[in-house]
Amino acid sequence: MRRITVLRLFHRVGRDDRVTVHVALTARAFGASGVMISGDRDDGLIGSIRRVTEQWGGPFEVDFVEDWEGYIRDRKAAGDVLVHLTMYGVSLLDVLGELRNQLDQRDMVVVVGASKVPRVVYELADYNVAIGNQPHSEVAALAVFLDRLLEGRVFKVEFEGAMLKVIPDPRGKRVLRLRGGNLKSEAWDGDGRGRGLVV
């Protein structure tokens, strides 16, 4: 499988902060290799996503793109396949097989807009893909797209260099923490009060 990079178009500081972070976190958790953010430069947001990767593992690239159209054209010229997620596109189910075949041979750029996406994106895209043709969240669309494309990789992906790792627990919160070479588990009750360290 080749690399998947999510391009977040037209981020607006103060308006899109939370959703853009969720786009990046979803991209990372569901198997993408990185996210590129265009629009208002937001070094604080980029730093936050990098800190998540430092704590929870990687690799995962995050950076700012000044010229989003130039970035798209450069990636296409390099041979990448461009997928634009839009409610006006064709059903994912109709092109899923093609997209998986493409990903076996080429890197993929997945475009997710924050505001109205200009026509040039539709024209440059190799695939304009819809997760249903009703209004919905771009975070939901990205999650469904990556889950279907990568066949549930979110349930199997392992991250390198993680400082923290969740231990599934049916009743509370358990987090495995690496400190000084020792693995320990910090546990919390459902109300958030600590139960101490469990080795």
Task: Tell me 75's DSSP state.
Answer: H
Q: What is the CA radius of gyration of the chain?
A: 18
pLDDT classification of 196: cutoffs 50, 70, 90 = very low
Question: Do residue 20 and residue 45 come from a single domain?
Answer: yes
For residues 82 and 182, which has the higher predicted lDDT (pLDDT)? 82
Q: Give start and end residues of each alpha helix (H) in the chain.
A: 17-29, 43-56, 68-77, 92-105, 119-124, 138-149
| SS3 state of residue 89 | strand
Question: Do residue 107 and residue 27 come from a single domain?
Answer: yes
pLDDT score at 186? 55
Burial of 185 (0-12, 13-18, 19+ CB in 10 A): middle
For the cut 80, the answer to whether the pLDDT of residue 31 exceeds it is yes
pTM score of the predicted model: 0.88
For the cut 80, the answer to whether the pLDDT of residue 50 exceeds it is yes
pLDDT score at 67? 97
Mean pLDDT of the chain: 90
Question: Do residue 46 and residue 79 come from a single domain?
Answer: yes
Q: Domain of 58?
A: 4-155
Q: What is the CATH number of the domain that holds 114?
A: 3.40.1280.10
For the cut 70, the answer to whether the pLDDT of residue 182 exceeds it is no
What is the tally of structural domains in the chain?
A: 2
